[in-house]
Amino acid sequence: MSTIQNQQLENVASTATPVYTLFESVVTETLDRDILARIGAGTLGAARVPGFFTTEQCDAVTKGLDTCDMGSYDEQLVQPRIAKLGPATYDYYGNVELPPAYWEHTEQSDASRSGLLHGGDPLDEAIRKLEKVWGGRVARATSKGRPMFAGMIREINAGAKMHFDEVVREFPGVVDDTPVCQIAFNCHLSMPSSGGESLVFRRAWKPSDEQHRDGYGYAESIVADEPYARVEAAQGDAIFFDPRNYHLVRPNTSEGRRVTLSFFIGITSSGELSIWS
């Protein structure tokens, strides 16, 4: 059963022809294919699935992270620092293709993450659940025939600037099977008691936004009048949204770590799901 949060269905037309914002967020105990399709189609702002991972699973993964060597995004560009396990395609957006360093990092990170869930891989658990929801196989996206990295673990305690993620626009041609839409997946392995919420705005990037660039992000003034979905997640909750829309993370306002298992989901032209980070 789904519960609608934020904006309700409301006709916002200025003429006799109805038009609806369609950017509410939902909380649902049972994720289904229709919810993912609505996010991909742009008619649902965000979905939160409580208990996607159990508390025990989350604690096991975060405890295992203590034995992992966490890296970070380029600290000359991304401040405050965001710690992460695994490479991001974002790290190589200035390249023509993914370099050898990406593939080496992929192999190392897969090995580090593979035993974090009682000797198993938390990514496999997430994939299993998504396959059940979608009714089909979920595979890693490929680049020049090679499976890309998926399943980054990130720690964002001081917030993340407003930005967008769109692999086909920011790194054209890197994915072999071009996705027709892109969905962000974040399962919250650890959360502070307050702060750390996500905001997703009904506003995609456009070229004129570059004059409002702020490092890796953009000034929040450009979305001042836009509808948005606000999602407050608890430990174990998964959230889904379209990252081609501007989005941000607010800083923690209490003790605690904000740690997520994160990747992107692409719906391909054949209706299959592919994932990458």
Q: What is the domain extent for residue 245?
A: 56-276
Q: Does 88 map to a domain?
A: yes
Specify the 3-state DSSP secondary structure of 198: strand
Q: Does 43 map to a domain?
A: no
Tokens 């609608």 map to which residue?
4
The pLDDT assigned to 185 comes to 99
Cβ-Cβ contacts under 8 Å for 87 (sequence gap 6 or more): 102, 105, 106, 109, 149, 152, 277
| 264 phi and psi angles, rounded to 5 deg | -100, 150
Q: Does 39 map to a domain?
A: no
Q: Does 108 map to a domain?
A: yes
Range 110-113, long-range pairs (CB < 8 A, 24+ positions): 110/149, 110/151, 112/68, 112/69, 112/85, 113/68, 113/85, 113/86, 113/151, 113/153
Q: Does 8 map to a domain?
A: no
CA dist 253 and 83 (Å) reads 18
| Cα atoms in the 13 Å half-sphere on the side-chain side of 137 | 4
The pLDDT assigned to 258 comes to 98
Task: Encode pLDDT of 134-180 as tens digits.
Answer: 999 999 999 999 999 999 999 999 999 999 999 999 999 999 999 99
Q: Does 78 map to a domain?
A: yes
The pLDDT assigned to 164 comes to 98
Angle of helix 122-134 versus helix 55-65 axis, rounded to 10: 140
CA dist 50 and 235 (Å) reads 8
Q: Does 205 map to a domain?
A: yes
CATH number of the domain encompassing residue 155? 2.60.120
Distances (CA, A) of 28 to 56, 57, 133: 21, 20, 13
Q: Does 109 map to a domain?
A: yes
Task: Give the residues of the chain that fall short of pLDDT 70.
Answer: 1-9, 16
The pLDDT assigned to 16 comes to 63
Query: How big is the chain, counted in residues?
Result: 277
Specify the 3-state DSSP secondary structure of 69: coil
The pLDDT assigned to 94 comes to 84
Nearest to 240, CA basis, from 188, 174, 176: 188
The pTM (predicted TM-score) of the whole model is 0.94
Q: How many structural domains are present in the chain? A: 1
